[in-house]
């Protein structure tokens, strides 16, 4: 099954929730919608599901136009961020519900429910009602119901966001395994870049109702088309600095002025945005090309195994993510090192002008 959106847009009142979007999703793939809150992930999913009608554009499934088809006649399943189950039914009946509506034979219903329950480790909970379960089990029930239907399109709208850390890790590991067995198109919305990278597949990055880039997750991460994509796909956020290239010299305002080397050498003269990931900012020089910059510490956050050092350099605020516990008092002046081999360069229009190659982009 192939799902295709052609110039699909949705406007509600004076607000445009989704700008015209064209997207093709193939059978048996995991597709991530990555973007901050209110970027249009849920709106896009609701259009795919048929819960909302697009204002303009066409949606086809296997070439068949389904744009106006009501959701109950479509072959879709959906899991919400909130744990949505039927509170008045047992877990068994919850999972069986889509099959019962279809009028499947009793034996088949039983077999499929038991299969899904085994896959999601719910066997011992089948006689309980959803509200007697933990959050993780409630969400498993919702996922089981989505899987048992055998839908060609399964939409998961931040399914793990309301779970605690441990359960989230656990389910995140299990999900790809569950996905693989069904051969459906999976669409998975998340706000977390890490989650997208862990799940793999394809990623569409969204900002303000627009898809900024769509492609294999790793490619989107390593070669973002524009600044917006790079910002969305970086956690903590990517650091940026205004950069000017003049006569073979790169300069970051008053901070830095040096020959444009490495990937910067090929750039035309002009103004650019320089981007680099927080974990590529190091305290010591880790490469012979490393550029030393003097910075003032604003605040340090320590997570246990890593430290986030927020520093002011000229007018810019950057974040350095360094291993181990490193603590500086605010206002301390320290040296940080940037690796020009890991620089992303964007034009003032936001388009990518130069990117690191291969593993240096990670």
178-to-59, 122, 148, 173, 284 alpha-carbon distances in Å: 27, 14, 11, 10, 43
Of 143 and 252, nearer to other proteins (C-beta) is 143
Q: Of 86 and 308, which CB lies nearer to other proteins in the complex structure?
A: 86
CB 271, min distance to other proteins, A: 47
Nearer Cβ to other proteins, position 57 or 150?
Answer: 150
The site for other proteins (CB under 8 A) is made up of 49, 51, 70-72, 76-78, 80, 82, 84-89, 97-98, 101-102, 142, 145, 149
CB of 72 to other proteins, least distance (A): 5
Nearest to other proteins of 139, 239 (CB atom): 139
Q: Which is nearer to other proteins, 96 or 361 (CB)?
A: 96
Q: Specify whether the CB–CB gap between 194 and 235 falls below 8 A.
A: yes
Tokens of 289: 């090309």
In 3D, which of 316, 311, 315, 361 has the Cα closest to residue 337?
Answer: 311
CA distance 74 to 344: 43
**Backbone phi, psi, residue 170, to 5°:** -65, -50
CB of 164 to other proteins, least distance (A): 21
Exposed / middle / buried, residue 327 (Cβ in 10 Å: 0-12, 13-18, 19+): exposed
Choose between 2 and 81: whose C-beta lies nearer to other proteins: 81
Mark out the alpha helices in the chain (DSSP H runs). 41-49, 91-102, 106-119, 135-148, 165-180, 193-199, 217-222, 227-232
CB of 149 to other proteins, least distance (A): 7
Nearer to other proteins, 101 or 362 (CB): 101
Query: What is the C-alpha separation between 197 and 207, in angstroms, rounded?
Result: 18
Whole-number minimum distance, CB 98 to other proteins, in Å?
4
**What's the min distance (Å) between Cβ of 102 and other proteins?**
6
Task: Tell me the C-alpha distance between 324 and 308, whole Å.
Answer: 10
Which residues, in sequence order, are bridge partners of residue 154? Answer: 77, 186
Q: Which of 157, 214, 191 is nearest to 21 (CA)?
A: 214
In angstroms, give the least distance from the CB of 16 to other proteins.
Answer: 18
CA 27 – CA 328 distance, rounded (Å): 51
Q: DSSP string spanning 134-182?
A: -HHHHHHHHHHHHHHTT-SEEEEESTTTTS-HHHHHHHHHHHHHHHHTT
Q: Residue 252 CB, nearest distance to other proteins (Å)? A: 48
Of residues 84 and 290, the one with the C-beta less far from other proteins:
84
Closest alpha carbon to 289 in 269, 310, 253, 264: 264
At its nearest, how many Å lie between other proteins and the CB of residue 112? Answer: 14
Cis peptide preceding 353, ω within 30 of 0: no
SS3 336: strand
Nearer to other proteins, 129 or 287 (CB): 129
The tokens describing 343, both together, are 């620089």
């Amino acid at each position: 099954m192939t799902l295709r959106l052609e110039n699909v847009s949705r406007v509600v009142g004076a607000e445009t929730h989704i700008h015209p979007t064209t997207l093709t999703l193939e059978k048996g793939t995991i597709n991530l919608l990555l973007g901050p809150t209110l970027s249009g992930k849920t709106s896009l999913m609701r259009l795919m599901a048929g819960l909302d009608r697009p204002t303009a554009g066409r949606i086809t499934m296997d070439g068949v136009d389904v744009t106006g088809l009501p959701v109950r006649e479509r072959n879709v399943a959906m899991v919400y961020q909130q744990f949505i189950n039927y509170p008045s039914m047992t877990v068994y009946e919850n999972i069986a519900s889509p099959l019962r509506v279809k009028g499947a034979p009793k034996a088949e219903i039983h077999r499929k429910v038991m299969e899904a329950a085994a896959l999601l480790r719910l066997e011992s909970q089948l006689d309980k009602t959803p509200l007697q379960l933990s959050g993780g089990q409630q969400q498993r029930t919702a996922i089981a119901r989505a899987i048992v239907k055998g839908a060609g399109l399964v939409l998961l709208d931040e399914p793990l966001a309301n779970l605690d850390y441990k359960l989230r890790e656990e389910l995140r590991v299990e999900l790809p395994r569950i996905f693989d067995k069904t051969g459906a198109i999976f669409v998975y919305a998340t706000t977390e870049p890490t989650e997208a990278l862990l799940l793999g597949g394809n990623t569409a990055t969204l900002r303000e109702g627009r898809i900024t880039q769509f492609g294999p997750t790793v490619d989107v991460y390593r070669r973002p088309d524009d600044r917006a994509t790079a910002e969305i796909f970086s956690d903590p956020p990517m650091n940026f600095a205004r950069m000017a290239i003049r006569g073979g010299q790169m300069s970051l305002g008053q901070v830095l002025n040096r020959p444009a080397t490495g990937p910067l050498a090929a750039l035309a003269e002009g103004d650019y945005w320089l981007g680099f990931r927080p974990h590529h900012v190091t305290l010591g020089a880790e490469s012979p090309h490393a550029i030393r910059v003097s910075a003032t510490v604003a605040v340090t956050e320590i997570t246990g195994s890593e430290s986030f050092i927020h520093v002011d350099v000229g007018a810019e605020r950057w974040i350095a993510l360094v291993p181990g516990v490193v603590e500086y008092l605010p206002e301390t002046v320290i040296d940080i090192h940037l690796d020009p081999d890991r620089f992303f360069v964007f034009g003032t229009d936001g388009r990518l002008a130069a990117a690191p190659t291969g593993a240096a982009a990670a």
